[in-house]
Amino acid sequence: MHYKDLRSYLAALDEIGDLAHITREVDGDLEPGAITRRSCELDAPAPLFENIRGATPGFRVLGAPAARSSRKDMPYARVALSLGLPPAASVPEIVDALIATRDIPGKKPVLVDATNAPCRQNILMGDDANLDKFPIPFAHDTDGGRYANTWGMLIAKSPDGKWTNWSIARVMKVDGKRMAGLIVPSQHIGQIWAEWVKLGQPMPYVLVQGMAPAIACVAGIPIPAGVDEADYVGALWNEPIEVVKALTNDLELPANSEVVIEGHVSLTRDCPEGPYGEYSGYLGTHSSLQPTFHVEAISYRDDPIWPLVVAGRPTDESHTIWAMGMAADATALLRAAGLPVTCTWAPEESAVHWFVVVVPNDWRDVLPDTSTEEFARRVGEILFKADSLVFLPKIYLVDDDIDPTKLSDVVWAIATRVHPSRRQVVFSDARVVSLAHCYEDDEYESGKGPKIVFDTLQPAIGKGRLRHASFDQAYPEDVRKRVLANWPTTTKSPI
């Protein structure tokens, strides 16, 4: 089942017990951020703040919309439900669904009459279009401002109209009429903004809050340049997204959105943005000049819901949906290059600083006369050059006896299969970005530094590979069957 708006998705979370209704009054500054952050760190239900001090009655904030679930039997339920999958779907199943959607013809969105569109229930124009009306909290106490966008979607179109990009990028509220948005040149929105700058024309934009969960997820993952996210979601849903025209420009936006902000972006980086707590798990300490997003119109649903992601120590949306999107892109790139890959994953606890590439036992049949070092080098050459994976500093190439979503497996592999000095393929002059937290100042300044692939591949089965001292491998099949047949189903204890 696909949820076409945020509210039906919240009803589904309620049904599985993964939504916490916070009805007591909370302050409008830091308390929603603090509760959301603690919810992420404890894998607690997603908090829905329904009584925010100073906010218009009925205005709400949703925390942790796609973080790890509170249900231990379905840890990725929020992402799975967002994408229309069963709530118990595993990481490989979710990643495979994202990859498979790439091969389905996209479905263009369909324009509907805006008269009855939920996002047009309330309209503010001119001076009335003011962000001060909305309960935008601080995410962290050292942030440069209230972040108006942490899980909303920016819509921008290339000047020739051939490419419309829907993406998530952080945007800081400056005052009621201005925001400063982080525009990274290598990202798609940065490429489109650069085209408008070349023409000397301000880029029109729409910033949407509270769209259908699949739209938010797809906006937050890498898909190929030139592909419209709206078409990709249409393929995922097997039906087009219903959209309406913006009030002030020719962009189109999801009709069921909670809040819609419209305006134009400055031609220069003219406004300080940041600092902000980031996915690496540390509070930011620096600001930078970024383009100004001027606000010209706002529309919203009755009793609107504003989503809030509080990035930080794992686990939050950076370590779930963003990592899944990166895994889908990495897997697709490696397979397109003819490399046998079972799956890829960035263990949440690594804050997307480790990437595990799992290969099947028969990889030597697919790549005859290829050493493990050569295999590792090819993986690094492909992944470290990809724009979508520029954040990755470390890759572990492992056999498929390792489950990359199980941290105990990954730690065991790193501890027992990574040689202290050998079998490491180093790319000494790779591209480095400031958001990855493991480099030195000179490397950030130059934008260059080392990246590494750890070759942990074991000998082929039957040719020197050690068996595990585990239940699965250290006992005959008849003994294991007898143990399992007599093991109580209601307890972990054999007694």
pLDDT digits (tens, 9 = 90+) for 421-477: 999 999 999 999 888 999 999 999 999 999 999 999 999 988 999 999 999 999 999
CB distance 125 to 247 below 8 Å: yes
- Measure the CA–CA gap between 282 and 395, rounded to whole angstroms: 22
Choosing from 31, 50, 273, 278, the catalytic residue is: 278
Amino acid 225: pLDDT: 75
Domains and CATH numbers, the chain: 6-308 (2.30.110.10), 337-455 (3.40.1670.10)
Amino acid 177: pLDDT: 98
pLDDT per residue as tens digits for the range 388-402: 899 999 999 999 999
CB distance 325 to 98 below 8 Å: yes
Q: How many C-beta atoms surround the C-beta of residue 424 within 10 A?
A: 14
Outline where 28-128 has alpha helix (H).
31-42, 77-82, 91-102
Inform me whether the pLDDT recorded for 280 exceeds 80: yes
Amino acid 491: pLDDT: 65
DSSP 26: B
- Measure the CA–CA gap between 150 and 348, rounded to whole angstroms: 19
Outline where 150-272 has alpha helix (H).
188-199, 213-219, 229-237
Inform me whether the pLDDT recorded for 403 exceeds 90: yes
- Measure the CA–CA gap between 265 and 9, rounded to whole angstroms: 32
Amino acid 222: pLDDT: 87
pLDDT per residue as tens digits for the range 342-369: 999 999 999 999 999 999 999 999 999 9
No. of helices (H) and no. of strands (E), the chain: 13, 21
Outline where 285-387 has alpha helix (H).
321-336, 363-366, 372-383
Query: What is the dihedral angle through the alpha carbons of 422, 327, 106, 10, rounded to the nearest 10 degrees?
Result: 180
- Measure the CA–CA gap between 211 and 372, rounded to whole angstroms: 45
pTM tops 0.85, yes or no:
yes
Pair type for strands 394-399 and 354-359 = parallel
* CA gyration radius, the chain: 24
Amino acid 495: pLDDT: 60
CB distance 386 to 337 below 8 Å: no
pLDDT per residue as tens digits for the range 168-180: 999 999 999 999 9
Q: What's the whole-number mean pLDDT along residues 9-36?
A: 98
Inform me whether the pLDDT recorded for 306 exceeds 80: yes
Q: How would residue 223 be classed by pLDDT, with cut points 50, 70 and 90?
A: confident
Q: How would residue 35 be classed by pLDDT, with cut points 50, 70 and 90?
A: very high
Q: Take residue 381 and report the two structure tokens written for it.
A: 């050459």
Is 278 known to be catalytic?
yes
- Measure the CA–CA gap between 112 and 109, rounded to whole angstroms: 9
